[in-house]
Chain A
Amino acid sequence: MTETKQRNLYERISKEDVLKILEGIFGSKNVTDKSVDLYPYSYDMTECEPHMPDFVVIPENSTQLIELVKFCNKNSIPIVPYISGNNVGGLTIPEHGGIVVDFGKKMNKILHINENMMYALLEPGVTFGELKKHLDEKYPHLKYSYPFAPPYAGVVGNVILSGMNNLSCKLGSMGDSINGLEVITADGELVRIGSCFYGKYEADKDSWWSRYPMPDLMGLFINWQGMSGLVTKCAVQLWPNPPFQKTYLGIVFGLPDIAPVMREVGRTEIVDDISAVSIEVVKMTIELPEPKKIPGEPDFAALFSISGKTESLFRAKEEYLKLTIENLKKQGIKVLLVDVDEFSKLFSLRVRCHLDLPAVILSLVEYSGLTWFGSYAPTHKLEELIPKVNDLFLKYNVTPFIYMKIMKHSHYGIFRPILRYNKFKDEEKIHNLLSDIVELCIAEGCIPYKTPAWMTEKMREVINPGWIALFEKIKHCVDPNNIFNPGRWNT
């Protein structure tokens, strides 16, 4: 555990006085500076260095947060937003101490569902599980899309960090599905971005329907890891829940051959989602923590989800998917396509956790440590990347765990080698393996997301200097005292 570093935070105001002010804003029951309460906020599952916050506050509304931001800005005290601490990038570890704002406890309301324009207006603490339950019970004709994340992970954190979902092949990044944001900027201004910008003081709850056509200020807050403001509301798109849905399983033999299979299926424009995992991961799901691949086994399992509003539309998509697979076979690619519902019964129903999202996926939670190189990837490089990264896993005697997705009908992909490990035991080995993976993948053009600071440091070595200069100018402009999640992206 490292001590509070960089500036002396409490030169201008004592910690005791800070506590009093915070209690004045949030009430004494919603503020803590006790080590026992602070400790859970000091670390996550990753290799990122733990660091204690000085305070944790539990806000109930934006008014309290405006006061907090003004106070912190005046006294240069860091603010770190926190929902459930499930990100795999050390993003909510308060690297420079300060105040953790825990949205998950009270600012977790689903404020509005607009059925006509299909969006949900959310406070930052809403989880995938809560949103799914709400929609299933009250709006079964609408659905949200879910990543490979547990039900207790936050929706807003995922969208503003451009996470994945299970409609990614159709929609692309979750960052693209935001209709509007409410953000508190460093000077304590409450800003509404998107079509909700009409209304001097309050926005109509039915006005959060579009991000365009005004200048897209949302870019100042998406993917900034909480470095540019405090998001207090977010409108996310919903989609019709079609009656006909099915997921097919593609069983692929040959490590690089998964790449053309995913790309070609993606290009059909009929698939909602494509994800693939190393075959070892399928076995991990059923309680084989360190499985070995035996000769003759396939290399990857891919899931292709299709849906239709009518049976004939659905059948047509099904037929086209099968035709695409047949064409790939004719090109010499060994791939089998089966109905995953049928297959999972005969294999193990446990693998359904990959289908029934959000879900706690055993392979991601069974070790004390979890880290990854989660990246947006150029899909034409996948053939090279997959065997090289697989070899790195084997070199370090770690079971390969590669997770991939095809985004927006093959315009780009997600390449995510995942590492599970025992903390305090295998940390050094895993960090070395991850470093090797990072170097290889960045050299091939992959761009990590939800990126830990040590990884952005490596990226800075190869990023265009003009980009870095502009990035830093903007950061300085929107957060002159560097109070918002300092340390991210080496700020």
Chain B
Amino acid sequence: MISIQKGEDLLSISLSTILSYRKNEPEFQKLVLDWNKKILIEIVDFYPIETIFDHDEIRFKVSDIDNKIDLKVSMNIYTLLDLAYGRVGPIKAVFQRKIRIKGLFKFGILLKFIKIFLKSMQMVASDPNNNYYELNKETR
């Protein structure tokens, strides 16, 4: 079971929504459970957010961000939405400098992050169901 922190700021709320979508999937669990990395996501115009993959736990930090992060990904909100909705692919976005990556040559980390985050985001985006209460039956 993976525990994902419930966010209290706009970006961690989003990240929590995106990452929670697949948290019960074996493929997602396999990717996350053996991972211990800190990824800094920066959405231009907003603020940086440190996403901590700590095996069975995913947490977010928006202050006192660690200097030693494993990967930094920076983009604006429009690129984020374009990636999610398939209007641009990650490679093209990097070449067009719509995404800036610090740690580009840490291929393993980058690839795994794409598999975890980008795939989850695209799955959330392509779900035709817009009804929160159908998708979250346990909610009040």
Contact = CB atoms under 8 A, between A and B. Distances in A.
Interface of A: 251, 253, 279, 282-283, 286-288, 291-292, 294-298, 334, 336, 338-339, 341-350, 352
Chain B contact-residue range equals: 20 to 34
Q: Most chain-B CB neighbours within 10 Å: which of A282, A338, A346?
A: A346
Interface in B6-50: 8-10, 13-14, 17-18, 45-47
B124 A346 contact: yes
B13 A283 contact: yes
Contacts of A336: 45, 77-78
Contact of B81 (A279, A286, A288, A338): A338
5 contacts: A296-B62, A342-B84, A349-B131, A349-B132, A350-B132
Given A349-B130, A349-B131, A296 B13 contact: no
B91 interface: no
A319 to B, nearest CB: 16
Given A334-B45, A345-B130, A294 B14 contact: no
Given A253-B45, A297-B10, 6 more contacts: A279-B10, A283-B13, A339-B81, A346-B14, A346-B81, A349-B135
Contacts of A343: 81
A352 to B, nearest CB: 6
A345 B132 contact: no
A262 to B, nearest CB: 19
Given A283-B8, A283-B10, A346-B17, A341 B130 contact: yes
Q: Most chain-A CB neighbours within 10 Å: which of B46, B47, B78, B85?
A: B46
Nearest to B126: A345
B77 A338 contact: yes
B127 interface: yes
Contacts of B14: 346-348
Given A297-B47, A334-B45, A347 B10 contact: yes
The 10 closest A-B pairs by CB, nearest first: A296-B47, A349-B132, A294-B9, A350-B132, A347-B14, A342-B81, A348-B17, A346-B14, A345-B124, A296-B46
Contacts of B13: 283, 286, 347-348
B9 A345 contact: no
A336 B17 CA distance: 21
B79 to A, nearest CB: 12
A151 to B, nearest CB: 14
B10 A282 contact: yes
Contacts, number: 71
Nearest to A286: B13
B113 to A, nearest CB: 17
Given A345-B125, A347-B14, A292 B77 contact: no
B124 A297 contact: no
Nearest to B121: A346
A292 B8 CA distance: 8
A352 B130 CA distance: 8
Interface string B110-140: 0000000000010011010011100100011
A84 B81 CA distance: 42
A336 B81 CA distance: 12
Nearest to B48: A296
Contacts of B84: 342, 346
A266 B139 CA distance: 36
A292 to B, nearest CB: 7
Contacts of B125: 342, 345-346
A294 B9 CA distance: 7
Given A279-B10, A342-B125, A347 B17 contact: yes
A338 B85 CA distance: 13
Contacts of B17: 346-348
Contacts of B10: 279, 282-283, 297-298, 347
Q: Most chain-B CB neighbours within 10 Å: which of A251, A286, A292?
A: A286
Given A296-B47, A346-B14, A346-B125, A338 B78 contact: yes
Contacts of B77: 251, 336, 338
B133 to A, nearest CB: 9
B31 to A, nearest CB: 20
B8 A291 contact: yes
Interface string B67-84: 000000000011011001
A341 B131 CA distance: 12
Contacts of B47: 294-297
A298 B10 CA distance: 9
Contact of A352 (B8, B62, B132): B132
A346 B126 CA distance: 10
B81 A297 contact: no
